[in-house]
Chain A
Amino acid sequence: NAGVTQTPKFQVLKTGQSMTLQCAQDMNHEYMSWYRQDPGMGLRLIHYSVGAGITDQGEVPNGYNVSRLKKQNFLLGLESAAPSQTSVYFCASSYRPESTDTQYFGPGTRLTVL
């Protein structure tokens, strides 16, 4: 099993450009989420999904959109990138959000917006 995979690993954008971060998991997990991690701050939830076709906003959703057409894939879109979105983005999945099961994280995408 590959676990949770993310593409790309690194990305540099110019202000105003758009892009999509991709996340895939092969563990048949229902719950998937996107976080951003900034220096000196905890992981912050951007959006999450409890199943295919179901998404909801997290703590910091502004400037991002998501799509989960298939159970195994969760996409994070930046419509018009801003320097404030420079961060490391992690995708995570788990069987159920209420579960004590561990969250499995992808390796991260390091995004720089110039």
Chain B
Amino acid sequence: GQNIDQPTEMTATEGAIVQINCTYQTSGFNGLFWYQQHAGEAPTFLSYNVLDGLEEKGRFSSFLSRSKGYSYLLLKELQMKDSASYLCAVLDSNYQLIWGAGTKLIIKP
């Protein structure tokens, strides 16, 4: 079966750095997405990785290792508004998105 694993919840301090991990086992791989979802709202796109390595976009970076079936989202200089759920999703061989359950990130002052 296809499976994506993320921690259920993480807590971090304002101004700090946090790394949210995602491991996957899917039938084929055509890319990995990270989405942010604030409580009661729709998911919004953060990043897309299809090649190994690190993609940096402002305070957010996303890393991919296809051989290890592993990705992480790195958030720097945390702000209170970063409190949200972070969803990892993999595009499988049929170009269907397989979603993880999401990681709820709690930022404390």
Contact = CB atoms under 8 A, between A and B. Distances in A.
Q: Point out which of B43, B48, B87, B100 has the most chain A C-beta atoms below 10 A from its C-beta.
A: B43
Interface stretch (A14-22, A61-69, A71-79, A102-110): A102-110
A35 B43 CA distance: 12
Interface of B: 4, 8, 30-31, 41-45, 48, 50, 87, 89, 95-102
A90 B42 contact: yes
Contacts of A100: 31, 48, 50
A11 to B, nearest CB: 16
A40 B43 contact: no
Contacts of B89: 42-43
Contacts of B96: 45, 58, 97
Contacts of A103: 43, 45, 97
B42 A42 contact: no
A33 to B, nearest CB: 9
Q: Point out which of A42, A107, A108 has the most chain B C-beta atoms below 10 A from its C-beta.
A: A42
Given A58-B96, A98-B30, A42 B41 contact: no
Contacts of A102: 45, 48
Contacts of A90: 42-43
Given A100-B50, A103-B45, A107-B42, A44 B99 contact: yes
A23 to B, nearest CB: 12
A42 B101 contact: yes
Interface string A36-50: 000011111100000
B50 A41 contact: no
